[in-house]
Chain A
């Protein structure tokens, strides 16, 4: 059996995922990155996007929000506000959130508001991307 990594995804609402996987692909602040077991200890930031957990030949797609990634040789811990596996994404809700965010961007906003609206836009886009890709 191939070496495995323990992938843990925790959010304030609970543990979303905690299983041994062979490899995980993550949207990091410096781009999409793949982590295999025995990776060098690393701490970096997670950006809204798509995470793929490879386990026993199957891929699990997970939409993520902003967060932090801690990598050690045998473990990947992810601390994030939002993590939804593809099959649990509510497409209608994500679409609605996207439209709401886009509508707000057209208004006059302060820099801070723009940052927060951009954040929610990125989060809803991440969910839509994961969901739609899975279907095709």
Chain B
């Protein structure tokens, strides 16, 4: 049986944990709101681009081969997988879901022709301990995530792809579905999937292209790739905050339940102690009385 003092100590420790989890929850909620706003703000750009892309691809298509190297479907075996996780934990299964998912895909790939790019400290630490070629890592930027980070990554992928160092690039990241739900998804970044480039653009408009449709396509496609990377990063960031908020809310509730149980235990123990003391006093008084009568 724990002593009163032990129980009290535990209650206090759980209370201070609860304070921390509650604060983390509030911080995550505030950051989540900002991250969601950014996703929404980027939408007009992305949809405009999809619209132009559909139009351009058909205009630049000369009939033979792909109109641009980034669209060309190559049969090569060299695959690059980009794994995006958070820098920090305490976000439920957020990081482990992506890592588990990525490991399955990594194992399915041809190990000799595989390179990895890891984004986020959790992914870096996970793959550093394993025998894979990590081409590039990127950590410690999440708090100031900007479009330029996406450009840096995307330009690296495109340069390698165009140099022929890799034949395909896949992203694995957590997609933000709702505050409580994040789902790991895999997306082929390069070559740009045909369906993406042929999105419905409405009735085709007969544009004048200045200087030429090919040149504009060559400008638009890298933008598209950068935007895809940016979107993946933003989704992951919003997902991280959502996951952390949910996890910390659960932790705060668990702490509350724990405190209730401990408080009941404490009261029971206190009552037991009083009862025992009363019994002692009554017993002692009885004994004295009997002694006096004798």
Contact = CB atoms under 8 A, between A and B. Distances in A.
A13 interface: yes
Interface in A27-41: 28-30, 40-41
B49 A79 contact: yes
A77 B210 contact: no
A57 interface: no
Nearest to B47: A10
Contacts of A30: 210-211
Nearest to B231: A12
Interface in B121-175: 147, 150, 159
Given A43-B52, A45-B219, A68-B52, A10 B210 contact: no
Contacts of B49: 79
B223 A79 contact: yes
A12 B205 contact: no
Given A28-B210, A79-B223, A41 B42 contact: no
B209 to A, nearest CB: 5
Given A11-B45, A68-B216, A43 B56 contact: yes
Nearest to B230: A12
Q: Is the interface of B mostly helix, strand, loop or mixed?
A: helix
Nearest to B227: A12
A70 B206 contact: no
B52 A15 contact: no
B263 to A, nearest CB: 50
Contacts of A99: none
A42 B52 contact: no
B48 to A, nearest CB: 6
A45 B208 CA distance: 12
B45 A10 contact: yes
Chain A CB within 10 A, most for which of B38, B216, B226: B216
A28 B209 CA distance: 12
B210 A29 contact: yes
B220 interface: yes
Nearest to B56: A43
A56 interface: no
B147 A10 contact: no
A68 B220 contact: yes
Given A43-B52, A43-B216, A45-B210, 16 more contacts: A10-B45, A12-B227, A13-B41, A13-B42, A14-B44, A14-B45, A41-B205, A42-B210, A43-B56, A43-B208, A44-B211, A66-B219, A77-B48, A79-B49, A79-B52, A112-B159
19 contacts: A12-B147, A12-B150, A29-B211, A30-B210, A41-B206, A41-B208, A42-B208, A42-B209, A43-B56, A43-B210, A43-B213, A43-B216, A44-B209, A68-B52, A68-B216, A70-B207, A72-B205, A77-B48, A79-B52
- Minimum-distance CB pairs A-B, first 8: A14-B41, A44-B210, A10-B45, A43-B207, A41-B207, A10-B44, A12-B147, A42-B208
